[in-house]
Structure 1
Amino acid sequence: MDPRPSSPSDRLDSVAAQVTRVRAGAIVAGAQADHLAEETPVALEFNGISHATMLATPADLEDFAVGFSLSEGIIDSVADVRGIDVLPQCDGIVVQVEISSACEARLKSRRRAMAGRTGCGLCGVETLPEVLRPVDPVPAGAPLAIGAVLRAMGAMRARQALHDLTGATHAAGWADADGTVALVREDVGRHNALDKLVGALARQTMQAGGGMVLVSSRASFEMVQKTASAGVGVLAAVSAPTALAVRLADSAGIALLGFLRGADATLYSHPERITS
């Protein structure tokens, strides 16, 4: 099982706070104790080159760095990572990732392409293929029982310790074909939570392909991309997918399920991967 902090005092991902509560339309006298999820600027550097800064929960940052690197195509496998240093700063955290020289050269080439002409007020023309980059299809595998998927979602909810403490975070989990949840990662950002999960799977060298990814959010295009980067053929979400996410799941061979609530779900792609 994946160890998680057992008490609020053990955590780096939340802080204590004093709040005033309103109940039944009336202010409750006296301040009461509560906890808030931390949200910290996390800057990722690759071989000394600043690449991206995200607001994230400052836990499992080594997993985050590896998962982000894999899902963004910066590295091909965890073996391309030579080292990770997490350096707290006064205004955030810098995560320094040392990657192989081949991956560094590819990253520099991509950065040069993305620094080109501007086609609109939001992004350069050259960046659009980067955002909508194709993913390798996930190999076919034995179908998973819908009962196992539904059980796994319920089991993941029971392991969202930071959400229980703060009510402010998303979770991403991985479960095996029987629906046993082996890993859960949480973050204020749903994409960050999934990157942390992808990184944890890679760092623990787990054979993820025969299981499923679970997310406590909607299923966007990027969530499908990240699932495909982990080689997992089933993605189950609490809320709805987008049309673009369904199209990518269909082309990538991923069974995409949404609206997992109790014993209900909606299957949007590759129904052959799910069985009764």
Structure 2
Amino acid sequence: MTTQQRSTAVHVHRVASGESRDHAGSPTLDAVAVEEPLEIQLDGHSLAVVMRTPGDDADLVRGFLLTEGVVLRPSEVRTVEFGEDAVADARLAEGVVVDIEQFSRNLFVSSSCGVCGKASIEAVELLAPRAPEFAVRREVVAGLTDRLGELQPTFEETGGLHAAGIFDLNGRALVVREDIGRHNAVDKAIGALSVEAWPLPHALLVVSGRQSFEIVQKAAMARLGGVVGVSAPSSLAVELARELGLLLAGFARGDRFNVYAGAERLDG
């Protein structure tokens, strides 16, 4: 297996603008986030290779399989086994059958693939139910990203990790995870939910970055009630959230936030 270190020390030169190269100073140590590959397998068949920060790898695998529609509920994954050379093999529960070839053709696509729009939304709608009714206080939503920031130990050390957390409607953190990739952080948080706790339609996904279509997709596939972020969502993320009745809030900082979908979910 690979190292589980989340940060490592490297030598850096600290430079100020206007200084000559002769005044760059001696090298000093600085902490950076670790990034390493992990191959995800399903019953011995290779599915994907992700670049991630080591740690919480079983959560990452479980969350990835659920949010990408490979499995439809957490209980369909019996166990995640780790071997040499950074390989994680998810073993399906008895009686669960997955068409691996269908998954390799990409049931969902990210913004980097250049394919998006109505077909992507319809693909998610086939598997993700519309969010049930719930109400959350405005002051709770406003404080969620600040609370998430307080629970990022490796970011405090390196300044280089994204975070994702799942919070209940009272603002209590149920789980928080960090990773070099924002999608990985979301998968780790979702995968950390126990089988007994799932689904959590009256809980919110909180992210430290922007809310892309894929982030909202992952929340929908995990059957969460909405997404709150410190930055803005994309147009397709807004469209998907509205189609599924999710709360989608951005620029949540201090006591303010913008609501792009699900304004009827706010109480008070």
What TM-score bracket applies, with the shorter chain setting the length?
A: 0.7 to 0.9
Does residue 141 of structure 1 match 2:133? yes
Give the direction of change, closer, same or farther, for the CA distance of 1:229–1:152 in structure 2 (3 Å limit). same
Q: Deviations over 1:74-122 (max 9, x none)?
A: 1122211122112342xxx11111113654x43235147x39xxxxxx6
Gap runs ≥5 in structure 1:
1-9, 116-121
1:129 and 1:208 map into 2 onto residues whose CA distance is 24
2:32 and 2:122 map into 1 onto residues whose CA distance is 32
The answer to whether the 8 A contact 2:245-2:262 is kept is yes
Give the direction of change, closer, same or farther, for the CA distance of 1:191–1:131 in structure 2 (3 Å limit). farther
| Residues 44-53 or 70-79, more deviating | 70-79
Q: CA RMSD in A?
A: 2.5
Give the direction of change, closer, same or farther, for the CA distance of 1:37–1:29 in structure 2 (3 Å limit). same
| Other structure's SS at 1:209 match | coil
Q: Which amino acid in structure 1 is aligned with residue 124 of structure 2?
A: R
Match of 1:184 among 176, 180, 190: 176
Match in the other structure for 1:98: 91
Give the direction of change, closer, same or farther, for the CA distance of 1:111–1:264 in structure 2 (3 Å limit). closer
Does residue 87 of structure 1 match 2:83? yes
State how many pairs are aligned: 253
| Other structure's SS at 1:22 match | coil
| Other structure's SS at 2:99 match | helix
Give the direction of change, closer, same or farther, for the CA distance of 1:144–1:123 in structure 2 (3 Å limit). closer
Match in the other structure for 2:109: none
| Other structure's SS at 1:251 match | helix
The answer to whether the 8 A contact 1:138-1:232 is kept is no
Q: Which amino acid in structure 1 is aligned with residue 182 of structure 2?
A: R
| Other structure's SS at 1:223 match | helix
Match in the other structure for 1:30: 26
1:67 and 1:260 map into 2 onto residues whose CA distance is 25
Match in the other structure for 2:49: 53
Q: Which amino acid in structure 2 is aligned with residue 21 of structure 1?
A: R
Does residue 193 of structure 1 match 2:185? yes
Q: Which amino acid in structure 2 is aligned with residue 133 of structure 1?
A: V
1:88 and 1:35 map into 2 onto residues whose CA distance is 27
**Aligned-pair CA distance for 1:238:** 0.9
Q: Which amino acid in structure 2 is aligned with residue 246 of structure 1?
A: V
Q: Which amino acid in structure 2 is aligned with residue 96 of structure 1?
A: D
Q: Which amino acid in structure 2 is aligned with residue 257 of structure 1?
A: A
2:35 and 2:254 map into 1 onto residues whose CA distance is 30
The answer to whether the 8 A contact 2:78-2:90 is kept is yes
Q: Which amino acid in structure 2 is aligned with residue 60 of structure 1?
A: D
Q: Which amino acid in structure 2 is aligned with residue 145 of structure 1?
A: R
2:50 and 2:222 map into 1 onto residues whose CA distance is 21
Matches within 5 A, 1:198-209: 198-203=190-195, 205=197, 208-209=200-201
Match in the other structure for 1:7: none
Gap runs ≥5 in structure 2:
107-112
Does residue 154 of structure 1 match 2:146? yes
Q: Deviations over 1:139-192 (max 9, x none)?
A: 323310111112221111011111111111110011111112231101111111
